[in-house]
Amino acid sequence: MSFDGCTPRCSPLSSPWRRLGEEEEGTSYLERWRQATLVINAIQRFKCNSEQCVQMTSQSSPNSPSRKFRLGTNVIRAIFRFKEAGKLAGIDRKELVTLVADHNLELLEQLGGVDGLAKALSTSTKNGIEDEVPKIERRRLLYGSNTYPQQSPKGFLAFLWEACQDLTLVILGVCAVVSLALALATKASWYDGASIAFTVILVVCVTACSDYKQSLQFQRLNAEKRKIHVEVLRGGRRIGVSIFELVVGDVVPLKTGDQIPADGVLVEGYSLVVDESSLTGESDPMSKGLDHPFFMSGCKVVDGYGTILITSVGINTEWGRAMAALTDDISDEETPLQMRLAGAATVIGAIGLAVAIICFSMLFIRYFVEDYKKDKKAVAVFKRNVNILSVAVTILVVAVPEGLPLAVTLSLAYSMRKLMTHKSLVRHLAACETMGSATTICSDKTGTLTMNQMTVIESWVAGQTRSFHEIRGLPDAVTSVIFDGVAHNSAGSVYYTLDRNGVPEVAGSPTEKALLSWGLQLGMDYSTVRAASSIIAVEPFNSTKKMAGVAIKRNNGTLCALWKGAAEIILDLCENWLDGEGTEKVLSSEMVSSIHGTLTHMAASTLRCLAFAIKTYNSMDGRPIPTAGLTFVALVGIKDPCRPGVREAVRKCQDAGVKVRMVTGDNVLTARAIASECGILMPGGLVCEGSFFRNLTDNERFQIVPKIDVLARSTPSDKLLLVKTLKSLNEIVAVTGDGTNDAPALREAHIGLSMGIIGTEVAKESSDIIILDDNFASVVKVVHWGRSVYENIQKFIQFQLTVNLAALSTNLVAAGRSENVPLNTVQLLWVNLIMDTLGALALATEPPTEEMMERAPIGLSEPLVTNVMWRNIFGQVAFSNSSSSFSVKSLHYFRQAAYQVAVLLVLYFRGDQILHLKGSPAQKIVLRNTIIFNSFVLCQVFNEINARKLQKLNVLKGVFQSYLFCTVIGVTSVIQIVIIEFLGKYFKTTRLVIHYWLLCVGIGFLSIPLACLMKLVHVPKKPIFNANWSRRRRRPQHPGTDTNGTCWEWKKWNKNQSRGFEHAVQVEQ
């Protein structure tokens, strides 16, 4: 029996029998032993079964035939396993890595070229590997998976350690330890020190838990961002899989804009050009062919299309090793809003530090002036000064608004998680908040405004519009040319599989699928047509030329150039047309007019028009595919219906002050019809052609751009020019894009939105947000949530500043008049916990409301604290009737901070008399301070409810739809009840009877009607404290413009040049 071909091929370098002292990569070392074990097991089983079979053959027994048969079966199974192991180990993994890394053509030739390599890997260049899970897993075991090790994320203990490094909390912890030590030394009460210590630990744990939770959310979002889906050939079918599921031996089709998912070798390709600058540093793209067949993972396909055979994956590629050393954590990004809030926190913290120093100084001086003489013992003096220091530090803790960055992080993480449910993946945090300020959206048509489900519904062939049956009745000389153009000049494919009962499966882009399906309906046999000719040159489609060509050589030796593309562009290149007999005739002006009439009719019916042309010639002589003297063959109209709900989504944007513009490569008539159907084209709007737009002067462009609703027949450079012009007009621009050439515009715009389905990897990497379902309605959701982020942060700022002012003012005034402050250290730490963590959790996660889309966009440089917020915080706004300017001498309206400070100070200085408190002086002080503390906390509970609506009167609207907000309010209230009723020893409080509870609740609840009254007060639009905080959005003055921004040169040019209205069509009122 022969076993030729079964022995695994192992070079000395790749042998698994290496000394343990030699250097070896960890993963490669393990995989080699697994490979060796697989082969050894197969050999041992074969040897064992063979020996048993021989031994039993020599013996005679009654049941020997069955035993021989059973053992023989095992031998055969062992042989097949041995052969299979030999096949999968037919080439060593290290040789595969070296093959591409060193661009080793000599090794590739030794293996027999790409076909020999495919045979060694037990795969097929035509059909790929077998689509069977066990065999795919075996490949993954032998050659590795297409993943790379990720750096371990920070654990909970790391966040706990970071929270412990807060300087103010460290000081409070030291104070707690000193207080406990003194209490134990003097056998005094240890509740003060224990309360501070416990509260500090609680604050640290809550902060660490919150940060850790946000980190987990960002990790999940990072994982989603790394997911890339690619097409592979498995079992003769083109299927989509995750990039992480690729294995060695897969055959992967590539096209312009794709990212190469793993190292590989070229199988076949046409005009393939690859950008390898990310790995090699070479700025010039590299053409790929027989001389340069190697593809490296992570590079981008700049032009052309083809297929590659995967040879190395994951950590075995240069890209995988580089990525393993990098981190890609979007939670480390700092958004513009976070930077602005960090600056605000610094200023507020400085004010809090000043208040804390003043408070400490007053308490310290008062103690030595009044109380020092009562007890001069060192322990008592030290303990008293520790208590004074802890109060001052606690004031600083409350004053420093560390909750502001937390609120932004919470809001962004919450919004990003919700946007994922709306099919939007945020790649950069800043885009989530910037999108709320967008003033214009430049949207693609195909797939975004339309469904990207294309079907040929009308065609012009041989001089007239014909149905399917009429085309089938034409001579073969006509239909064969159509079939050649459809089958050869296409990046799509047709597969015939048994599981579809002979029904062909069409793969490719939506346009290619529509044309191939049309050809199949006409009776085209795809396999026969492809076999009758061979492709010798390809000119791939791109958005600049707007056409694609292919040169084929028929079996009879005839050379043909086949072109397809934008109908008017193809028509301009034609000199002849093909009649119903398959005869070429001169393309007369009458026939051109007839074709233009059909084209106009199709375009007006919202059909996308493509044309086919052919040219027969003798030889190429190294020249490109000829484009002159073509013969017009056919014109097809492709229907791509508008998405359901897109008109409503466009209307929402317009109501929100966001202008929607459509940028498309379709002709003017088709673009105008689609824009009208979507509601984009408004009365007075312009439909401008790209060639006209790019030839305008700067002055002319500045005047026409605000009127443009549709930019048709545009190129990516036109889109980039439009974005730059809009930005120069102080617009906040969002742009959608799907192609590789859209990358410059996506990067130039304030917010780049790429398409997740039809978008190339280059476009996705250049974007800030990926729209996973390619739906314009999802873009509107991003705008909605972007505005929600900004408004939620404003709500939290108002809430936190109110608490800051009330707490600081109350303790500062009390410290100036008394030896004790009404809010002690433990109480203030609890208030700080409510204000920072719980407040951020409640207000920063409020869902968006419809009212947000009824207001104009908020400028990027608008003040965070608006006049409305200052009115709500300070409770006083005054203005002059003549100038509407800010004045502190006019009307005074007390609310929130002013209201809280007034009530708390009245209770502090006159509470004994007003409430008729009974008991000893010490008991009265404890009861009074308990009422003050309880009233203050309940004021914050109702203050959170007030902060939900900055301007609306009904603050309770939708409150029960926000489950997290209700949970925070409920938890805060329950904990406050527990503190008052059961934790009095730790918080220095006493239990309250029912009428005192009602008093505290009434004081807190009164802030709600007071807020409604305050919202009726008008405030000036001009920022009170700094007019420069507001971005002035005015049209820049350019040469040739008058004071109102009207360009007289444009008026004169528009009047005298009729061509302006040939390419920029204005919609009449």
**Catalytic residue at 444?**
yes
**How is residue 820 annotated by DSSP?**
S
**Are 738 and 764 a contacting pair, CB within 8 Å?**
no
The CA distance from 565 to 541, in Å, is 8
Instruction: Give Cα separations from 621 to 559, 573, 618 (angstroms).
Output: 12, 21, 9
Phi, psi for 350 (deg, rounded to 5): -65, -40
Interior angle at CA 577, CA 575 and CA 582, nearest 5: 140
The bridge status of strand 751-755 relative to strand 769-771 is: parallel
The CA distance from 859 to 868, in Å, is 16
**How is residue 879 annotated by DSSP?**
B
Separation of CA 843 from chain center:
24
Phi, psi for 584 (deg, rounded to 5): -80, 130
Helix/strand/coil for 594: helix
**Are 355 and 399 a contacting pair, CB within 8 Å?**
yes
The CA distance from 13 to 28, in Å, is 12
The CA distance from 701 to 721, in Å, is 10
The terminus-to-terminus CA distance of the chain in angstroms comes to: 90
Separation of CA 973 from chain center:
38
Question: Residue 966 carries which side chain, given as an amino acid letter?
Answer: C
The CA distance from 488 to 20, in Å, is 56
Q: Which residues pair with 300 in a beta bridge?
A: 259, 275
Q: What is the DSSP string of 331-393?
A: GG---HHHHHHHHHHHHHHHHHHHHHHHHHHHHHHHIIIIIGGG---HHHHHHHHHHHHHHHH
Question: Residue 194 carries which side chain, given as an amino acid letter?
Answer: A
CA neighbours closer than 13 Å in the CB half-sphere of residue 510: 16
The CA distance from 571 to 531, in Å, is 29
The tokens for 335 are 């958004």
What string of H, E and C letters represents the secondary structure of 970-1028?
Answer: HHHHHHHHHHHHHCHHHHCCCCCCHHHHHHHHHHHHCHHHHHHHHCCCCCCCCCCCCHH
Interior angle at CA 873, CA 868 and CA 877, nearest 5: 60
The tokens for 710 are 């549709």
**Are 424 and 778 a contacting pair, CB within 8 Å?**
yes
CA neighbours closer than 13 Å in the CB half-sphere of residue 411: 33
Contacts for 83 with CB less than 8 Å, ≥ 6 apart: 3, 5, 6
Contacts for 943 with CB less than 8 Å, ≥ 6 apart: 799, 802, 803, 896, 900, 1007
The CA distance from 935 to 903, in Å, is 9
Instruction: Give Cα separations from 953 to 309, 344, 902 (angstroms).
Output: 65, 28, 24
Catalytic residue among 192, 211, 263, 444: 444
Contacts for 238 with CB less than 8 Å, ≥ 6 apart: 231, 232, 253, 493, 495, 507
Pick from 413, 409, 195, 399: nearest CA to 835 = 399
**Which residues carry out catalysis?**
444
